[in-house]
């Protein structure tokens, strides 16, 4: 976008003064900054480590009656006396040429991968989904991915921090 030139009346020295408008440039910078901030905020939310494994136990992989893959755990209610079986959809995981990849939409990895497990990694306490998945060549390889942003609430229920479709249809096997 070109700069605008605006002529001002002659000053006392008899010379013309010109100025360039910076409004379009500032507007574009503000828009770009706002978009970058929104992307950074979404990324920060999506990358928060899961915390439910700190208070829940008996963590395992399951599938609900609709075929949705889920993480299952026994989690405490806020009274710390009562525990409930809780589950959350493993949304967005896909098999990308033998590699578990997190992305958007419902999970599809369970349609091609086998030996699926959900567990806690010993070295850093992260929740990990692991499986044997086929590459496009047909070779099956071991792969894993971290489960981000899953937390337990005061009722003992698991949920994703980032809103989305978490509907799980009991019973879970």
pLDDT on residue 27? 57
Residue 60: φ, ψ to 5°? -155, 170
User: How many CA within 13 A on the CB side of residue 98?
Assistant: 9
Rg over CA atoms, the chain = 26
In percent, how much of the chain has pLDDT > 70? 72
Task: Note the pLDDT tens digit of each residue in 20-62.
Answer: 444 555 555 556 555 444 444 444 444 688 999 999 999 999 9
pLDDT of residue 168: 80
pLDDT tens per residue across span 77-119: 998 889 999 999 998 999 999 999 988 888 999 999 999 999 9
- In angstroms, the CA 73 to CA 127 distance is 12
pTM exceeds 0.85, yes or no? no
Contacts of 98 (CB under 8 A, 6+ apart): 133, 134, 135, 136, 139, 140, 141, 143
Query: If pLDDT is split at 50, 70 and 90, which confidence band does 166 have?
Result: low
pLDDT, averaged across the chain: 80
């Amino acid at each position: 976008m070109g700069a605008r030139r605006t002529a001002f009346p002659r000053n006392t020295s008899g010379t013309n003064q010109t100025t360039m408008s910076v409004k379009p440039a500032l507007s574009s910078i503000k828009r770009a900054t706002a978009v970058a901030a929104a992307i950074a905020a979404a990324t920060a939310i999506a990358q928060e480590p899961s915390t439910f494994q700190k208070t829940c136990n008996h963590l395992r992989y399951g599938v609900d009656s609709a075929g949705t893959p889920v993480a299952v755990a026994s989690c405490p209610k806020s009274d710390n006396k009562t525990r409930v079986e809780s589950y959350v959809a493993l949304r967005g995981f896909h098999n990308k040429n033998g590699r578990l990849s997190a992305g958007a939409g419902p999970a599809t990895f369970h349609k091609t991968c086998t030996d699926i497990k959900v567990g806690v990694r010993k070295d850093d306490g992260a929740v990990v989904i692991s499986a044997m998945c086929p590459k496009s060549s047909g070779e099956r390889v071991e792969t894993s991915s971290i489960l981000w942003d899953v937390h337990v609430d005061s009722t003992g229920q698991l949920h994703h921090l980032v809103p989305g479709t978490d509907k799980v249809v009991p019973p879970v096997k």
